[in-house]
Amino acid sequence: MLDTFEIVTTSGVVLWSRTYAPVNPSVINDFISDTFIEEKDGSAAIRDSQSASANPIYKTDTHTLRWTLNKELGVIFVVVYRSLLHLSWVDKLVDNIRTIFVQLYGEQLKKPHTTLVESAGFDDYFDQQLRELDTTSGQSAGNAARKPDDTPAEPKADPFDYDSPDVDSGTNSPVPGLKGSRPTTPAGKVSRRARKAMNNSRPGSPAEDPKKKNAKPTKKNRKWDADGMADEEDDVQLDYSMQADGEEAPRSGAVEEVDASTWGTSSKGKFVLRDLGDEVHDILASASADKANARSAPKSGFLGSGVNAISGIFRNVVGGKTLSKADLDKAMKEMEEHLLRKNVAREAAVRLCEGVSKELVGTKTGNFEGINAKIQSAMEASLTKMLTPTSSLDLLREIDAITSPPVTSMRQRRPYVMSIVGVNGVGKSTNLSKICFFLLQNKYKVLIAAGDTFRSGAVEQLAVHVRNLKELTEREGGQVDLYQKGYGKDAATVAKDAVAHAAQSGYDVVLIDTAGRRHNDQRLMSSLEKFAKFAQPDKIIMVGEALVGTDSVAQARNFNDAFGSGRTLDGFLISKCDTVGDMVGTLVSLVHATNVPVLFVGVGQHYSDLRNFSVKWAVEKLLAGN
């Protein structure tokens, strides 16, 4: 997507760069010479530009350059990409990177005789902005952009290209009578009949060598009995993670070490997850507020440019009058449609808009003023009120209160029990492992219980996670083990036995995996009540998928009501948030349906890709422009 991004001083020192594809150095050099030395675009070079969109576009034969300048520090921020691409977000990227870099390293650059800055950690900030801003393409920028310094793979030779130097163009042409060419139609394309003739005429083809036609062995279908067990002979090996002698199969490579500073911080002896994007957003919001103050303009709040799109919905609602419901009806309908496009379920969107309308009706705006400030405030308040939990979500404090009760307390020490539930395919086992890794960072002794005794491979999947986590445990601290009784067992009994084993063995936390089940299948859902009675979990977390859309309301309600009287869900973990950009409305739908808070969000497939839920981040995403 991008070719390169460079941060360079006006004296020619490169402070930081990120290259995705090779770019001739003359492209940057010519840009600096034409713009800042010869000043071919007039006074642009001496202006302390605040926005890349305000600066002239610099183009070469194949590349386009967008740039901005911090005159005080003498630093140029320039991005290079192919001219045939139309990247609507690139100006915003340049502006945001300028703001973040100056905020982080401005003090270093202000020191006399400074030519280099310690900017090794700036890659993370750049990647975060690249992922967040590239919402107009069909995929995230992290996937769209090539890896740094990657070169495209060599194209495979066309087996039908007989002009290729790898194909004999002499008398050994596969089709008799052709020499160095392939049979074509008048339009220059290979006909089906000719292609078929070429295939059948090749040495070793199925037509000429019938012995090889069925040489590839066919896979024998495996039969399963009514209990979900393989109907095979006793000597058939189904667990391919083990060798024939019972030893663990050799692994292809070690688990990559995780840098804890990239996904959390230590505070008062505890490892705390980082809120998604909060640090970058705080920097940008602070810079925006400073800029607004300098211009003596009203503050726009923490929502930044995204609110401008929402404010446009209310552009026809004029000020200087007392607002009525009729004044807001059309705007609220547009607002509702906007939320639907963000994956918010309709009933949740209607509830939000009714709350905003109710708050605005009867208020009076100032003369000749729009109501943007009031709209922003009302929508922020409604979303924040809906998403803010009513009880403490300090998981580590809850664990310590149960595993290490005060001396004066009459309570016995016992393990903290947490179970993970959800529909099929949302990532329950993967996110359970992420939570486990977070607990290992805090030096807890964790037992993972394999409560999914139905799905083939579920126990082996958890065994692989435990094996990886054990390897990481050697470096991070804590202890993790797997408790499993195989397949076909009663899941509630397995969970109960796991808790008893953890209590006897001194484990701090028990994480119970459960089988995925359809929320509208009463037979499958009914077993959750027995599970809750047997396992007695302290916290039941439902994994909800950010991609699910409007069906999330039914899922949340059915799971919330499935554990019997007096027992409900305790929190949500929203998985795959990295795949939906700003379409994070699923979390609003889940909270609206149950009044159960969101605890965590999953942002990737690595063990460290778990974040605390941030109400501020969610509100910003929901109110951002499309």
**Residues 173, 179: contact at Cβ < 8 Å?**
yes
Count the neighbouring beta carbons within 10 Å of the beta carbon of residue 63. 18
Q: Which CATH number fits domain 395-623: 3.40.50.300, 3.90.580.10, 3.30.70.20, 3.30.70.141?
A: 3.40.50.300
**Residues 532, 561: contact at Cβ < 8 Å?**
no
The pair of structure tokens assigned to 369 is 């003023």
What pLDDT was estimated at residue 162?
Answer: 39
Count, residues in the chain: 626
What pLDDT was estimated at residue 257?
Answer: 67
What pLDDT was estimated at residue 44?
Answer: 46
Write the pLDDT tens digit of every residue in 482-536: 999 988 888 899 999 999 999 999 999 999 999 888 887 778 888 888 989 998 9
| % of the chain with per-residue pLDDT over 90 | 16
Strand, helix or coil for residue 197? helix
What pLDDT was estimated at residue 130?
Answer: 87
- Give the start-to-end residue ranges of the domains of the chain: 2-40+48-132, 321-387, 395-623
In angstroms, rounded to a whole number, what is the distance separating the alpha carbons of residues 106 and 286? 15
Which residues of the chain register pLDDT less than 70? 41-50, 135-272, 274-279, 282, 289-320, 365-373, 376, 391-392, 407-410, 475-476, 625-626
The pair of structure tokens assigned to 121 is 């950690």
End-to-end Cα, the chain, rounded Å? 20
In angstroms, rounded to a whole number, what is the distance separating the alpha carbons of residues 70 and 90? 18
Write the pLDDT tens digit of every residue in 195-240: 555 555 555 444 445 554 455 556 566 666 655 555 555 555 555 5
Q: Which CATH number fits domain 2-40+48-132: 3.30.450.60, 3.10.580.10, 3.40.50.720, 3.30.43.10?
A: 3.30.450.60
Contacts 24+ apart (CB under 8 A), 98-103: 98/68, 98/70, 99/283, 99/284, 99/287, 100/125, 100/129, 100/280, 100/283, 100/284, 101/7, 101/16, 101/75, 101/77, 101/125, 102/70, 102/73, 102/75, 103/283, 103/286, 103/287
Question: Whose structure tokens read 């402070």?
Answer: 15
Contacts of 411 (CB under 8 A, 6+ apart): 402, 405
**Residues 542, 569: contact at Cβ < 8 Å?**
yes
What pLDDT was estimated at residue 509?
Answer: 94
What pLDDT was estimated at residue 138?
Answer: 44
